[in-house]
Amino acid sequence: MTHNLPFVAAHWGTYRAEMADGRVRALLPYEDDPDPSPIGQAMVETLDDPCRIGQPMVRRGFLDGNADRSLRGRDSFVAVDWDTALDLAARELLRVRRDHSNEAIYGGSYGWASAGRFHHAQSQLRRFLNLFGGYTSARDSYSYAAAEVIMPHVLAPMKTLLTEHGTWQEIADRKSLIVAFGGIAVRNGQVNGGGVARHTQRDDMAAALDAGADIVTINPSALDLDDSLRDRWLSIRPNTDMALMLALAHTLVARNLHDQAFVDSHCTGFDAFRPYLMGQMDGQPKSADWASSITRIPARRIVDLALQMARRPTVVNFSWSMTRQQNGEEIIWMAVVLAALLGGIGRRGEGVACGLSAVNSVGNRRGRLPVAALPTGTNPVSTFIPVARIADMLLDPGGSVHYNGEDLTFPDIRLVYWAGGNPFHHHQDLNRLRRAWERVETVIVHEPHWTPLARFADIVFPATVSMERNDLSGSPQDTHIFATSAVAKPFKQSRNDHDIFADLAARVTGPTDVDGTILDRFTEGRSEAEWLQRLYDRTVKNLSATMPDMPRYDEFRVIGTVSVPVPEHPRRLLENFRADPVEHPLPTPSGRIEIFSNTIAGFGRDGIAGHPMWRDPVEWQGASLAQKFPLHLVTHQPDRRLHSQLDQSSHSRAGKIAGRAACVINSIDADVRGICDGDIVEVFNDRGRCLAGASLSPDVRKGVVLMATGAWYDPDWENGSDRCKHGNPNVLTADLPTSEIAQGPGALTCLVDIRKAEGDIPPVTAFDIPEITLPT
């Protein structure tokens, strides 16, 4: 009988905790989950593993006067008591606010943190900093910033498109053809921000294929591919999808197979785009032959694909990775244009799909679950950066950046506060980030584990993990809310983010109420239990129309979960628009799908014309740099963990090769370099180097190497700090914006070479904790 065991929720699934002698023995997947993720078990063994932080820590050099900030990352730490650490953090916050204003505090704190609506680290941080007078914030995501910025100009906000997404069922019903740019990585559907009740996408995709749907996968790698789809794999040269999309459009238009009536009634700007597409503008038709020389896909296969797309219901699907490369905005835009030319936008089982299985919710039938979140208040500081411009900001105070039609000025950041993310995982060109990080006077971090970010901090507050907290869990894109329970005691002296901020709030004043602290306004006098009840009651109120009979809070805590009915067909912005574009215009400037955008053209940026176009990326295999670094590095999401979370677990480590991150390389590329399967290799370019374990595979395109993100950054301080000993590929990636439209992360624009690692190979020290001393 497992149905009364307490719930534990994570981004990768929901589990019940099986207890023995007051300790968690195992996590059992939620009984209604047909395809649970194995990542969950790692949460048990990491509860009290050596990487946990048990006490507040202050960096030795920081205590000694902070003269050399380049010591961050390799310095020792001094274990202090809570009062000492809190006093120090409060002193630094007050100093920076007094001497430099709130704008000098960077609280962007990007990251996935953990599931749970109350104990959500970023929300707690924002609530605290807003009461403190505000902070420089960050916009958009690392996931798909390019799409977040371009989509509202040309189709609809990403949020709407992701909430009102088409489903696998509709694809099955229509026996659609999915043209999948970047493929469909079912492994990524293990997770969903905020939690997952049921993993259904693997079965749903299989059922759609059984029903007669088909998937053409466009990807430099076939590693994510189901065997049945192998002969439908188009192996593409990385960063060239734009050329392929243009050629598909060109073929449709040249043969008059596009839906001119839909273009006339629902789109704007085709006439301004057409001369570029057909070559009247620059003498170069964007034909299959042209694209073939760029993508290295045979022209005949491009034409053949276009003809298939014209013949049957087609979904143009882009994986979110399409956004994380130079010109990512226009690639996404071109996916919309291609779908518009096919005329299927707004029809079930057709149109454009925004990342089927990129996370669990996309493609599954879901409504919007109006689960309440911790109110964060408003930020009195309006200064912000596009999230991936963090190193630019730190290196260039007063400098400027163009973003979505605005000129932004970088603030002069003195203090960085991070809770629930890991920039030494997620940012590109980590050697550059390290230099930028040295400009900051004070770094305050909350972390449960000795992650690279914790090691690069000055003041580290040990945070609890979700299994140590009661919470209310449920993602707005999911079907269930859960009452989750603290099934373990907080590790040593660790405390939850809310309590840490409450204690800080008791030590600082607000910007106006100089006589009293901000404690009362931060906690509103509520305990954890009272907050949870409040969030639950809010959720009940939000659901009152659809679910008038929600259980009372005390009943909910006993039952443990409530599921909301999903609408048969969620009301669709795009369906209504299709039915009547005058009555139901899109929220774009013209109310139509914008193939040409006056807004984007009006930004007046070099090379940005106002419609999608092919531009050579700085780094791709067609660049002259490819003579020096001939391999294109593709960094993708890891199968065995979420980003860098739980990398210390045995499940994640079982996927490593010789203890390092795997680097998948084509056997031909390996042979010419004398590399054998299992060898330790060094992957390098002018930005940095990392050690990795070679995995030879015919499933990755010749000239391409693949590395998952998330190996804990492990600088080789002894032999050259530009090298990571463990295999974090972000020492190699370029810190380049997607473009001046969105300034998103261009992580996938990256050339490298590989050699067998020679000589003494240093051991991996990523999971060793720093030297810790007691106060002197």
Ligand X SMILES: Nc1nc2c(c(=O)[nH]1)N[C@H]1C(S)=C(S)[C@@H](COP(=O)(O)OP(=O)(O)OC[C@H]3O[C@@H](n4cnc5c(=O)[nH]c(N)nc54)[C@H](O)[C@@H]3O)O[C@H]1N2
Q: Which two tokens stand for residue 215?
A: 């998937």
Site string for ligand X, 459-498 (x = CB under 6 A): ----x---------------------------------x-
Quick one: what does residue 124 bind among ligand X, Mo ion, none, with the CB cut-off 5 to 8 Å set by partner type?
A: none
Among 164, 214, 392, 447, the residue binding ligand X under the rule CB under 6 A is 447
For 535-581, list the strands marked E by DSSP.
561-563
Examine the residue annotation and report whether 110 is marked as an active-site residue of this protein. yes
Q: Pick out residues in 584-613 that bind ligand X (CB under 6 A).
A: none
Q: Kindly indicate which of the ranges 110-118, 161-169, 282-290, 533-541 contains the residues binding ligand X, using the contact rule CB under 6 A.
A: 110-118
Residues ≥6 apart with Cβ < 8 Å to 70: 438
Q: Kindly indicate which of the ranges 200-208, 367-375, 579-587, 633-641 contains the residues binding ligand X, using the contact rule CB under 6 A.
A: 633-641
Q: CA distances (Å), 448 to each of 79, 258, 443, 676, 690, in order?
A: 15, 54, 16, 38, 26
Least Å from the CB of residue 143 to Mo ion: 3
Closest to Mo ion by CB, 322 vs 535, is: 322
Among candidate residues 237, 358, 254, the one with its CA nearest the CA of residue 293: 237
SS (H, E, C) 393-430: HHHCCCCEEEECCEEEECCCCCEEEEECCCHHHHCCCH
Q: Is 644:712 a contact under the CB 8 Å cutoff?
A: yes
Among candidate residues 374, 418, 381, 419, the one with its CA nearest the CA of residue 511: 381
Q: CA distances (Å), 613 to each of 249, 273, 282, in order?
A: 12, 9, 12
CA–CA dist 313, 75 (Å, integer): 59
Closest to ligand X by CB, 42 vs 236, is: 236
In this structure, the number of other CB atoms found within 10 A of the CB of residue 772 comes to: 15
Among candidate residues 412, 410, 416, 411, the one with its CA nearest the CA of residue 442: 416
Q: Kindly indicate which of the ranges 146-154, 233-241, 544-552, 598-606 contains the residues binding ligand X, using the contact rule CB under 6 A.
A: 233-241
Q: Which two tokens stand for residue 213?
A: 């749907």
332 sits near ligand X (criterion: CB under 6 A): no
Closest to ligand X by CB, 132 vs 501, is: 501
Residues ≥6 apart with Cβ < 8 Å to 388: 142, 145, 427, 428, 735, 737, 743, 744, 745
Among 14, 41, 46, 114, the residue binding ligand X under the rule CB under 6 A is 114
Kindly state the DSSP code that residue 468 receives in the 8-state scheme. Answer: G
Q: Which two tokens stand for residue 80?
A: 């202090």
- Which residues on neighbouring strands pair with residue 642, listed in sequence order? 645
- Residue 152 CA, chain-centre distance (Å), reads 19
122 sits near ligand X (criterion: CB under 6 A): no
Q: Which two tokens stand for residue 356?
A: 């089927």
Site string for ligand X, 724-743 (x = CB under 6 A): -----xx--x----------
Least Å from the CB of residue 237 to ligand X: 8
Least Å from the CB of residue 185 to ligand X: 5
123 sits near ligand X (criterion: CB under 6 A): no
Least Å from the CB of residue 523 to ligand X: 18
410 sits near ligand X (criterion: CB under 6 A): no
Closest to Mo ion by CB, 458 vs 647, is: 647
Least Å from the CB of residue 644 to ligand X: 3
361 sits near ligand X (criterion: CB under 6 A): no
Q: Pick out residues in 701-720 that bind ligand X (CB under 6 A).
A: 709
Q: Exposure of 571 by Cβ count < 10 A (0-12 exposed, 13-18 middle, 19+ buried)?
A: exposed
46 sits near ligand X (criterion: CB under 6 A): no
Closest to ligand X by CB, 190 vs 379, is: 190
Closest to Mo ion by CB, 141 vs 239, is: 141
Closest to ligand X by CB, 161 vs 586, is: 161
Quick one: what does residue 639 bind among ligand X, Mo ion, none, with the CB cut-off 5 to 8 Å set by partner type?
A: ligand X
Among candidate residues 380, 368, 414, 372, the one with its CA nearest the CA of residue 394: 414
644 sits near ligand X (criterion: CB under 6 A): yes
Q: Kindly indicate which of the ranges 42-50, 61-69, 317-325, 402-410 contains the residues binding ligand X, using the contact rule CB under 6 A.
A: 317-325
Q: Is 382:390 a contact under the CB 8 Å cutoff?
A: no
Closest to ligand X by CB, 335 vs 564, is: 335
Closest to ligand X by CB, 346 vs 420, is: 420
CA–CA dist 3, 20 (Å, integer): 16
Q: Exposure of 257 by Cβ count < 10 A (0-12 exposed, 13-18 middle, 19+ buried)?
A: middle
Q: How many helices (H) and strands (E) does the chain have?
A: 26, 32
- Count the site residues for Mo ion by CB under 5 A: 1
Among 13, 56, 108, 111, the residue binding ligand X under the rule CB under 6 A is 111
Q: Pick out residues in 127-146 that bind ligand X (CB under 6 A).
A: 142-143
Q: CA distances (Å), 398 to each of 387, 394, 402, 413, in order?
A: 17, 10, 13, 10
Examine the residue annotation and report whether 553 is marked as an active-site residue of this protein. no
Sheet strands side by side (includes 214-218): 233-234, 214-218, 177-181, 314-318, 351-353
232 sits near ligand X (criterion: CB under 6 A): no
The amino acid present at 374, given as its one-letter code, is L
Residue number of the CB closest to Mo ion reads 143
651 sits near ligand X (criterion: CB under 6 A): no
Quick one: what does residue 383 bind among ligand X, Mo ion, none, with the CB cut-off 5 to 8 Å set by partner type?
A: none
Closest to ligand X by CB, 152 vs 193, is: 193
Q: Is 682:755 a contact under the CB 8 Å cutoff?
A: yes
121 sits near ligand X (criterion: CB under 6 A): yes
Q: Pick out residues in 182-221 that bind ligand X (CB under 6 A).
A: 182-183, 185, 187-188, 190-191, 218-221
Quick one: what does residue 327 bind among ligand X, Mo ion, none, with the CB cut-off 5 to 8 Å set by partner type?
A: none
Among candidate residues 273, 289, 269, the one with its CA nearest the CA of residue 281: 273
Q: Kindly indicate which of the ranges 137-145, 249-257, 742-750, 766-774 contains the residues binding Mo ion, using the contact rule CB under 5 A.
A: 137-145
| Angle between helix 299-311 and 288-295 (nearest 10) | 120
Among 14, 124, 136, 143, the residue binding Mo ion under the rule CB under 5 A is 143
321 sits near ligand X (criterion: CB under 6 A): yes
Closest to Mo ion by CB, 93 vs 113, is: 113
CA–CA dist 221, 358 (Å, integer): 16
Q: Which of 112, 290, 333, 713 is catalytic?
A: 112
Q: Kindly indicate which of the ranges 281-289, 482-490, 628-636, 752-760 contains the residues binding ligand X, using the contact rule CB under 6 A.
A: 628-636
Residues that bind Mo ion in the complex, under the rule CB under 5 A: 143
Residues that bind ligand X in the complex, under the rule CB under 6 A: 110-114, 119, 121, 142-143, 181-183, 185, 187-188, 190-191, 218-221, 224, 236, 238-239, 241, 319-321, 324-325, 355, 358-359, 419-422, 425-426, 428, 446-449, 451, 463, 497, 634-639, 642-645, 709, 729-730, 733, 747-748
Catalytic residue numbers read 110, 112
